[in-house]
Amino acid sequence: MTRLKEDDINEIAATLASYDSELIRKTGCSLLELASHAVGRDLNEVQGMTPRVAVIPMTCGQGIIEGFVQAVASILNHLGFKAWITESSDAGGVAEAVQKGAEILFMADDDRFVAINLRTGVVSDNGAATGRGYVAGLERMCDGLEGKDVLLLGAGPVGLGAALALAQFRAKISVFDLDRAASERLAKKLEKNGYAVMIETNLDFALKQHHLLVDACPAENIIASHYLTERTILAAPGIPLGIESVGIEQIAPRLLHDPLQIGVATMLLQVL
């Protein structure tokens, strides 16, 4: 689990408008439309909803990340949902949120970042939601994924969320993880849901064979720029970004990568 740093997130609130127009240029969808697409919910239905959403700072473990709850709340408010940050943190923050009538809670410790709908009991986990949201973005950038070969790098929680969404969009999934056992665990989970997954063990070979990529691993420079072509489309939820800096401007119009926006938006739509 990559822990965000303050300078990963301190620009988010001020740049959400330009972030959204860039997302529309790349995917044809706003952040709200993309998250609705990711969870298969109708935009008209969700836009009428006005739940009270509380974001609760958590001081446990490695503690507060300066700007984290502010970034989360700014994304939720940008989506048109009233979110507030509790004055208290931890258990006090949860109590304050409930006493002030919150219906949805967002909070993150070192291991899990969750959204909870107190009324329905539905829980969304950032890892799975982020994988799903990024695949929805890839699907829009590719104008459909049915029957298309997609290489998934990373078989952790984000990778699993991505794989389940890839399967639902009927893509042909290959997975590579430095830990082969992780790839096998992911393939087994997908097989239980009736989806086949090809396990790749040679990254060089896999990157030569694929131009639709999901980078859901925290490794830097896992995708050397010589693999990138004008056909490459890359959805990269993994932090830090896994391509060398020389490759970024070449692929920028076909690259999805942000520290929180798509994950938080998909979490919200999953619990609404």
Q: Phi and psi at residue 105, in whole multiples of 5°?
A: -115, 140
- The residue range among 79-87, 109-117, 180-188, 208-216 that interacts with ligand 2YC, by the rule CB under 6 A, is 109-117
- How many residues sit close enough to ligand 2YC to count as binding (CB under 6 A)? 15
Residue 218, preceding bond cis, omega within 30 degrees?
A: no
Q: How far is the CB of 43 from ligand 2YC (least distance, A)?
A: 25
How many CA within 13 A on the CB side of residue 110? 5
- The residue range among 94-102, 108-116, 156-164, 167-175 that interacts with ligand 2YC, by the rule CB under 6 A, is 108-116
How many whole angstroms separate alpha carbon 261 and alpha carbon 20?
Answer: 10
Residue from the set 29, 35, 69, 216 that interacts with ligand 2YC by CB under 6 A: 69
Of the candidates 129, 124, 133, the residue with the CA atom closest to the CA atom of residue 29:
133
Q: Which residues are 233's β-sheet partners?
A: 212
Q: How far is the CB of 66 from ligand 2YC (least distance, A)?
A: 8
- Asked if 246 interacts with ligand 2YC (CB under 6 A), we say no
- The residue range among 104-112, 168-176, 189-197, 203-211 that interacts with ligand 2YC, by the rule CB under 6 A, is 104-112
Residues 40-59 that bind ligand 2YC (CB under 6 A): 57-58
Query: Is the CB of 10 or the CB of 225 nearer to ligand 2YC?
Result: 10
Q: How far is the CB of 15 from ligand 2YC (least distance, A)?
A: 17
| Angle of CA points 142, 23, 81, to nearest 5° | 125
Query: Is the CB of 65 or the CB of 123 nearer to ligand 2YC?
Result: 65
- Asked if 126 interacts with ligand 2YC (CB under 6 A), we say yes
- Cα distances (angstroms) measured from residue 52 to each of 83, 84, 88, 117, 269: 6, 8, 17, 10, 14
Question: What percent of the residues of the chain are helix, what percent strand, and what percent coil, each to the nearest 5?
Answer: 45, 15, 40
Of the candidates 119, 161, 112, the residue with the CA atom closest to the CA atom of residue 262:
161
- Cα distances (angstroms) measured from residue 189 to each of 19, 192, 193, 199: 34, 5, 7, 13
- The residue range among 33-41, 78-86, 106-114, 159-167 that interacts with ligand 2YC, by the rule CB under 6 A, is 106-114
| Angle of CA points 120, 259, 141, to nearest 5° | 85
Q: How far is the CB of 47 from ligand 2YC (least distance, A)?
A: 26
Residue from the set 14, 49, 64, 178 that interacts with ligand 2YC by CB under 6 A: 64
Residue from the set 1, 95, 122, 219 that interacts with ligand 2YC by CB under 6 A: 1
- Asked if 124 interacts with ligand 2YC (CB under 6 A), we say no
- Asked if 113 interacts with ligand 2YC (CB under 6 A), we say yes
Q: How far is the CB of 225 from ligand 2YC (least distance, A)?
A: 25
How many whole angstroms separate alpha carbon 164 and alpha carbon 169?
Answer: 9
Q: How far is the CB of 93 from ligand 2YC (least distance, A)?
A: 9
Q: How many residues does the chain have?
A: 272
Please report, as ranges, the residues that interact with ligand 2YC according to CB under 6 A: 1-4, 57-58, 64-65, 68-69, 108-110, 113, 126
